[in-house]
């Protein structure tokens, strides 16, 4: 998801126009006791179904303008890729709040427990991941999870556990009260996730970046595998472990049914190589015992003519039986995905109304800017999904799907076509140059195949939506989604040409796609002034009625004021990484943009009611809670190492002024 070059380019052009040794727990840092009263935010998305909804109402549309910083905490963990840490970092974590303690992970996978009222440190844990690795997906930790051992006596060590997985692919269980590793879990509190994956070619090719899912007494984890490198990449197997002992209970291999295994396509643990992986957060229906898994596309992202059978579970939403890993249903959002349109976001579990009756649903945001609304028990669409014809004349050797699924409702939230007449530029010559470039490449609508001449892919591989997903108000059944309108140029280079090609500038990505006839050339589609050739807004926030499948409102979000020396009058929207939060009082909170603001919007109208200054972009999803009579809104402000923005390490809590 190469956003950095685009960010730098947009900023410059607009100025011109007017981030394996045993872990360590710091018990000396134990802080004050828990607050007298506190609500909870026990999972990454608050509830296990990922609604990112808080039934809190102390902060309202009428008083939100009075929010101010209550406390800040610095993790000390940030990297711009220079110095002794070659990988960049992104502080994408959403804290959880359990038993009166706020718990968050840093991009270096250090876990810290904080007092939710003051931000004071209670304990720290350091898994000591190797920081000299070349991590394919940056240094990222989006959150931690928790599990309560109901069979353990009150006050027992590790009765409440914090579960966290790391960039170097280890799973830890920590005592929530002290941060000490739980000695009965795996080996001294950790489980090594690496052996089942297959041989890694470099440290950091196989990571875990999202929080584990918890279903019953099991901990379920996926993985993030380096893109566009080789067809026999590490397995994307999804695994479940006993929350008490760390013993593996089941493994779901994402190879298709009937897959013929050979020594060349199978890891030493027996799992297929080059399968889809599941890097985004999972959702859990605790009552039904289901785990909902969003999957990526198989290897490789832009050519798979030699490996079409791996499509079966690719770019899909899967419902797995939590106790066994058995597939209950699957729904594929893209057939034979050669656009890197892997499903990037946590599925969101809601109850909708159909003909006056409640229906259990799952809402899936996608990189295409499409929302798929499915029946939670069967995977059947709750709005019609049409299989529409798409081009099939790809490069020699490719075998493309003749149709792709499009939901009739809701309508697309992102642009789906880019033709010469759609070219945009800040001045006439800029627009004409964009027009000529469009004419020179494959273009048209979404799902134009990658080509030798170059194909315009819109939305690009960053989305549409990305890992921030949506927030849903469960009573009003309205989803809030931030999306992007950014096109990318994709070219497939024959192997001999790829070997001769040098990277012309920092905006271009060259990836080998080993084991195929083609290497990959990819870059953001920019004008001579280095502005996107797609019309603004380049980032926006939308509200969608999930009962009717209608867009209620949408608005641009984000400015480039923090990327240029002189503030500019236009809110053209920026790329967004992070997600929204919605509250019972009718507020939507969103950071995610490339500027240094956390914003609050009226959930009914989209009107911006407040913005709070951050030390760096809040490329994370905020959360909220009440403690000692005050409501707090907390967001990680660390920027994004690939966006060109400021990289930082600050957790910021906002609250209304104390009443005296």
pLDDT in tens, 391-420: 999 999 999 999 999 999 999 999 999 999
Task: With CA atoms as reference, report the closest residue to 590 among 571, 576, 572.
Answer: 576
Q: How confident is the model at residue 561 (pLDDT cuts 50, 70, 90)?
A: confident
**Three-state secondary structure of 618-629:** CCCCCEEEEECC
Q: Would you give the end-to-end CA distance of the chain in angstroms?
A: 48
pLDDT for 75: 98
Rounded Cα–Cα distance for residues 256 and 258 (Å)? 6
pLDDT for 178: 98
Rounded Cα–Cα distance for residues 211 and 222 (Å)? 9
What does CATH list as the number for 53-655?
2.140.10.10
**Is residue 469 classed as helix, strand or coil in its secondary structure?**
coil
Rounded Cα–Cα distance for residues 520 and 511 (Å)? 5
pLDDT for 604: 98
pLDDT for 39: 87
Q: How confident is the model at residue 321 (pLDDT cuts 50, 70, 90)?
A: very high
Please work out, in degrees rounded to the nearest 5, the angle formed at the alpha carbon of residue 458 by the alpha carbons of 477 and 344: 50
Q: Catalytic: which of 337, 340, 561, 595?
A: 340
Q: Which residues pair with 599 in a beta bridge?
A: 590, 611
**Three-state secondary structure of 323-338:** CCCCEEEEEECCCCCC
Give the residue-averaged pLDDT of 420-448. Answer: 95
Q: What is the pLDDT of residues 173-185, one digit of tens each?
A: 999 999 999 999 9
Of residues 392 and 660, which shows the higher confidence score? 392
Strands 371-375 and 357-365: antiparallel
Low-confidence winner among 222-226, 284-288, 337-341, 570-574 (lowest mean pLDDT): 570-574
Whole-number mean pLDDT of the chain? 93
pLDDT for 63: 98
CA distances from 545 to 373, 384, 482, 540 (A): 11, 16, 15, 17
**Is residue 405 classed as helix, strand or coil in its secondary structure?**
strand
The two tokens of residue 88 are: 């960049």
pLDDT for 461: 95
Tokens 């100025």 found at: 15
Is the model's pLDDT at 222 over the cut of 60? yes
Q: H or E stretch including 4?
A: helix 4-17
Q: What is the pLDDT of residues 75-127, one digit of tens each?
A: 999 999 988 899 999 999 999 999 999 999 999 999 999 999 999 999 999 99
Q: Which residues pair with 539 in a beta bridge?
A: 484
Strands in 255-314 per DSSP E: 283-285, 290-294
Give the residue-averaged pLDDT of 603-624. Answer: 98
Q: What's the DSSP call for residue 24? A: E
Q: Is 604 a catalytic site residue?
A: no
pLDDT for 15: 40
Q: How confident is the model at residue 570 (pLDDT cuts 50, 70, 90)?
A: confident
Is the model's pLDDT at 609 over the cut of 50? yes
pLDDT for 21: 38
Q: Which residues pair with 238 in a beta bridge?
A: 252
Is the model's pLDDT at 569 over the cut of 90? no
CA atoms within 13 A on the CB side of 334: 30
DSSP codes of every residue in 603-649: TTT--EEEEEE-SS---S--EEEEETTEEEEEEEE--BTTTTS----
Ramachandran quadrant class, 636 (left: phi over 0; alpha: psi -120 to 50; beta: rest): beta
Is the model's pLDDT at 5 over the cut of 70? no
Q: What's the DSSP call for residue 47? A: S
Number of DSSP helices (H) and strands (E) in the chain, helices first = 3, 45
Rounded Cα–Cα distance for residues 421 and 423 (Å)? 6
pLDDT for 564: 63
Q: What is the pLDDT of residues 22-58, one digit of tens each?
A: 465 664 444 445 554 568 999 999 999 999 999 999 9
Please work out, in degrees rounded to the nearest 5, the angle formed at the alpha carbon of residue 241 by the alpha carbons of 237 and 245: 150
User: Exposed, middle or buried by CB within 10 Å (0-12, 13-18, 19+), for 32?
Assistant: exposed
Is the model's pLDDT at 14 over the cut of 70? no
The segment with the largest mean pLDDT, out of 132-136, 388-392, 573-577, is: 388-392
pLDDT for 567: 64
Q: What is the pLDDT of residues 470-527, one digit of tens each?
A: 999 999 999 999 999 999 999 999 999 999 998 888 889 999 999 999 999 999 999 9
The residues, ordered by sequence, that sit 6+ positions from 439 with a Cβ below 8 Å of its Cβ are 420
CA distances from 174 to 82, 194, 219, 256, 542 (A): 31, 20, 13, 36, 38
pLDDT for 350: 98
pLDDT for 13: 45
Rounded Cα–Cα distance for residues 474 and 92 (Å)? 25
pLDDT over 70, % of the chain: 92
Rounded Cα–Cα distance for residues 220 and 592 (Å)? 27
Is the model's pLDDT at 20 over the cut of 50? no
Of residues 12 and 635, which shows the higher confidence score? 635
Rounded Cα–Cα distance for residues 541 and 587 (Å)? 13
DSSP codes of every residue in 552-612: EEEEE---STTTSSS--S--------S-EEEETTSEEEE--SSSSEEEEEETTT--EEEEE
Give the residue-averaged pLDDT of 200-225. Answer: 96
Provide the residue ranges of all domains of the chain, joining segments of one domain with +.
Answer: 53-655
């Amino acid at each position: 998801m190469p956003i950095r070059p685009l960010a730098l380019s947009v900023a410059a052009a607009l100025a011109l126009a007017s981030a394996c040794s045993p872990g360590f727990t710091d018990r000396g840092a134990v802080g004050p006791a828990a607050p007298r009263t506190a609500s909870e935010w026990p999972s990454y998305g608050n509830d296990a179904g990922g609604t990112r909804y808080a039934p809190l109402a102390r902060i309202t549309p009428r008083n939100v303008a009075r929010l101010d910083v209550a406390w800040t905490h610095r993790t000390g963990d940030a990297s711009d890729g220079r110095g002794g840490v070659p990988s960049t970092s992104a502080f994408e974590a959403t804290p959880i709040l359990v038993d009166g303690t706020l718990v968050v992970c840093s991009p270096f996978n250090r876990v810290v427990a904080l007092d939710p009222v003051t931000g004071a440190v209670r304990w720290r844990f350091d898994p000591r991941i190797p920081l000299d690795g070349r991590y394919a997906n940056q240094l990222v930790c989006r959150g931690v999870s928790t599990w309560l051992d109901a069979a353990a006596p009150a006050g027992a060590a590790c009765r409440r556990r914090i579960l966290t997985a790391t960039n170097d692919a280890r799973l830890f269980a920590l005592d929530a009260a002290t941060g000490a590793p739980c000695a009965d879990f795996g080996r001294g509190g950790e489980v090594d996730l690496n052996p089942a994956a297959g041989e890694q070619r470099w440290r950091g090719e196989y990571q875990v970046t999202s929080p584990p899912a918890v279903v019953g007494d099991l901990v379920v984890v996926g993985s993030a595998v380096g893109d566009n490198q080789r067809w026999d990449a590490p397995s994307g197997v999804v695994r479940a472990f006993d929350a008490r002992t760390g013993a593996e209970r089941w493994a779901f291999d994402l190879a298709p049914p009937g897959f013929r295994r050979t020594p060349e396509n199978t890891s030493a643990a027996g799992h297929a190589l080059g399968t889809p992986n599941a890097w985004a957060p999972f959702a859990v229906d605790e009552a039904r015992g289901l785990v909902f898994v969003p999957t990526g596309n198989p290897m490789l992202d832009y050519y798979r003519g030699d490996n079409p059978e791996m499509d079966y579970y690719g770019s899909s939403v899967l419902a797995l039986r939590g106790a066994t890993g058995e597939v209950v249903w699957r729904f594929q959002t893209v057939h034979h995905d050669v656009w890197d349109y892997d499903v990037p976001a946590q599925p969101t579990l809601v109850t909708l109304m159909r003909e006056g009756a409640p229906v259990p649903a799952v809402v899936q945001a996608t990189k295409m800017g499409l929302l798929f609304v499915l029946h939670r028990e069967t995977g059947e669409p709750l709005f019609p999904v049409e299989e529409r014809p798409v081009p099939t004349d790809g490069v020699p050797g490719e075998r493309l799907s003749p149709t792709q699924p499009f939901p009739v409702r809701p309508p697309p939230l992102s642009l789906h076509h880019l033709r010469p007449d759609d070219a945009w530029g800040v001045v006439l010559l800029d627009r004409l140059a964009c027009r000529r470039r469009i004419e020179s490449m494959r273009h048209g609508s979404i799902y134009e195949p990658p080509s030798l001449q170059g194909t315009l892919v819109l939305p690009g591989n960053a989305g549409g939506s990305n890992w921030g997903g949506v927030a849903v108000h469960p009573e009003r059944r309205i989803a809030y989604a931030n999306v992007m309108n950014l096109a990318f140029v994709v070219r497939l280079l024959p192997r001999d040409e790829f070997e001769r090609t040098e990277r012309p500038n920092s905006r271009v990505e060259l990836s080998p796609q080993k084991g195929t006839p083609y290497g990959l050339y990819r870059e953001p589609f920019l004008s001579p002034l280095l502005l996107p050739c797609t019309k603004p807004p380049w980032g926006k926030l939308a509200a969608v009625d999930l009962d009717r499948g209608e867009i209620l409102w949408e608005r641009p979000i984000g400015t480039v004021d923090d990327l240029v020396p002189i503030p500019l009058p236009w809110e053209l929207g920026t790329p967004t990484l992070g997600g929204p939060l919605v509250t019972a009082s009718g507020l939507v909170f969103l950071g995610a943009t490339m500027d240094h603001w956390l914003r609050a919007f009226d959930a009914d109208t989209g009107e911006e009611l407040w913005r709070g200054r951050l030390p760096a972009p809040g490329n994370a999803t905020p959360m909220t809670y009440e403690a000692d009579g005050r409501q707090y809104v907390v967001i990680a402000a660390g920027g994004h190492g690939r966006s060109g923005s400021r990289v930082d390490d600050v957790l910021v809590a906002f609250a209304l002024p104390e009443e005296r």
